[in-house]
Amino acid sequence: MEQRSAMDIDLDALTVETVQAGFRAGQFTAEQLARACFDRIERDNATYNALIFLNPEAIADARKIDERRAAGETLGPLAGVPVVIKDPMDMVGFPTTAGWTKLYSNTGGVDLMPERDAPVVARMRSAGAILLGKTNVPVLSHTGSHANDSWAGPTINVRMPDRVPGGSSAGTASAVASGMAVLGLAEETGGSIQNPASAQDLVGIKPTIGLVPNAGVVPLSGNRDVVGPIARNVRDAALCLDVLAGYSSEDPKTLAGVGRKPEGGYTSAMKPDALRGKRIGLYGPGWRAEPLSDEASTLYERVKRELTDLGAVLIDDPFAGSGFAELRQPTAPLKHFDARGLESIPYDLEKYLQRLGKHAALKTFAEFAEATKDENPFGPNGVLHYLPSLADFRAALADPSLPPEMPEFVELKARYLTIFDTVMSAHRLDALVFPQMRNELPPLHGKDVIHETTVGEINIAGLPGIAVPAGNYRSGSPFGLIFVGRQWDEAALLGYAYAYECGRG
């Protein structure tokens, strides 16, 4: 079959499956596909501001994939697939700026140049993915709503440009939604995978903590940070998780995930009838004492009918009377975000800086603090000004070489998990399915934030969640769901999300 030119490839319709089918059929090569993505970036990135650095090696990397394929090598599903990387993830050849002027030499700061890739970036390279570049984030990934304060300027929501794009993985979501890339790496501490995925009609996987290594990623919390994919459909996200998941000696907590990866991979439970007979818990005040908006409630009622039509058995507010909702406690002076677990950021940053290598511009937290003292992120006007309200933060700040004990966070996590497991068992639940947000997206440049249903709860407990599109508000604002389950339940959740995706058509 005659190969298409780069301009003829329909980037908006591409999935991992169609990319590989195109390679097999000779419709295009990996090099042509990468060139097509760069053409799209040149055309649209000025509008959406999704990518902040482009990888000059990407075309050569794609050419090597073509050579390997031509030589008859067996390649994995991500070989030749164009991917973007969230800026806080270390990628050799690029500064890791975390969206902050203080960490970028072109804006008067210092460049943090890693000597090696973060494990998740290395795994994507090893899988043959074509790394197109790095994506925009807000300063220190501090918000789950937008990237308005990034040194690179705001990222724009592709689906609804006057609304927030979701953060902090805003650039990754906009790059995938706009067809600049097929897949993107994202990271979540407090909504930063699920929010941008839902805000732009995409699929996002927030994994169980410990499933995917997050060494080499600028931290907010070593106790909560997780790396996961953002994709256009459930299967693509699952295939990416296959590559990302697994033990890394650089991240000891991944030892907990050994033996947890499903036989056959994360697509193994994907069947159109996967929801048949499954018991699904619904959102209610027992989970969180914050109601859905009237329109979100109407949209959720439609989802309930769809789930029932797919054979699911729905259980109304299974957490009622469990004490679960009472555990949530926004961190003063914040009104919505529970930051417990972020107390360790001085220690986590110290360990991150040590990993950069012996030639790094900043090697310790003390050097970081000195280099950024005129914009102290933990000060009264800093983006993380609420952290001094947390128990043990000041102790961690006083000696970043020692990890804080954080007994309050540990006890809270234990209580969340105990109640969660008790309720799931008592009602024989297979999963929870909630609206991912309680109301529609706020304006891009307003003061309001995304009001989600699971940030804090699943971040502190370390539970997995799969965000999937589920329609729109009358305004056009995306409406999405999140499938939540027990620790290590990603494969089952992906099966349910896939069945819902298939059922919606």
Catalytic residue among 86, 102, 134, 278: 86
What is the three-class DSSP state of 41? helix
Taken as a whole, the chain contains a residue count of 505
Residue 310, domain member (yes or no): yes
Residue 4, domain member (yes or no): no
Cα–Cα distance measured from residue 253 to residue 140, given in angstroms and rounded to the nearest whole number: 23
Q: What are 191-236's pLDDT values in tens digits?
A: 999 999 999 999 999 999 999 999 999 999 999 999 999 999 999 9
Catalytic residue among 141, 145, 192, 221: 192
Mean pLDDT of 443-461: 97
Residue 126, domain member (yes or no): yes
Q: What are 143-155's pLDDT values in tens digits?
A: 999 999 999 999 9
pTM: 0.97
CATH code: domain of residue 373: 3.90.1300.10
How far is CA 321 from each of CA 285, 317, 416, 435, 479, rounded to the nearest angstrom? Answer: 9, 10, 14, 21, 28
List the 313-315 sheet strands across, edge first. Answer: 51-54, 130-135, 82-86, 183-188, 226-231, 203-206, 465-472, 478-484, 431-435, 279-282, 313-315
Instruction: Identify whether 105 is a catalytic site residue.
Output: no
Instruction: Identify whether 293 is a catalytic site residue.
Output: no
**Predicted confidence (pLDDT) at residue 50 exceeds the cutoff of 90:** yes
Mean pLDDT of 68-95: 98
Nearest one of 470, 459, 466 to 491, comparing CA atoms: 466
pLDDT band at 3 (very low <50, low <70, confident <90, very high): low
pLDDT confidence of residue 382:
97
> Given the structure tokens 């029932």, which residue do they identify?
308
**Ramachandran region, residue 312 (left: φ > 0; alpha: ψ -120 to 50; beta: rest):** beta
b/e map 180-213, b = 16+ CB within 10 Å: bbbbbbbbbbbbbbbbbbbbbbbbbbbbbbbbbb
The angle that helices 30-48 and 16-25 make with each other, rounded to 10 degrees, is 140
Cα–Cα distance measured from residue 459 to residue 416, given in angstroms and rounded to the nearest whole number: 10
pLDDT confidence of residue 1:
38
Instruction: Identify whether 192 is a catalytic site residue.
Output: yes
Mean pLDDT of 56-79: 98
Catalytic residue among 141, 168, 221, 344: 168
Judged on CB neighbours under 10 Å (0-12, 13-18, 19+), 408 is middle
Residue 163, domain member (yes or no): yes
Cα–Cα distance measured from residue 460 to residue 415, given in angstroms and rounded to the nearest whole number: 10
Taking the alpha carbons of 387, 390, 392, 395 in that order, is the dihedral positive or negative?
positive
* Residue range of the domain that includes 177: 11-258+272-504
* Domains held by the chain: number: 1
Nearest one of 131, 149, 22, 128 to 80, comparing CA atoms: 128
Residue 87, domain member (yes or no): yes
Query: pLDDT averaged over the chain?
Result: 97
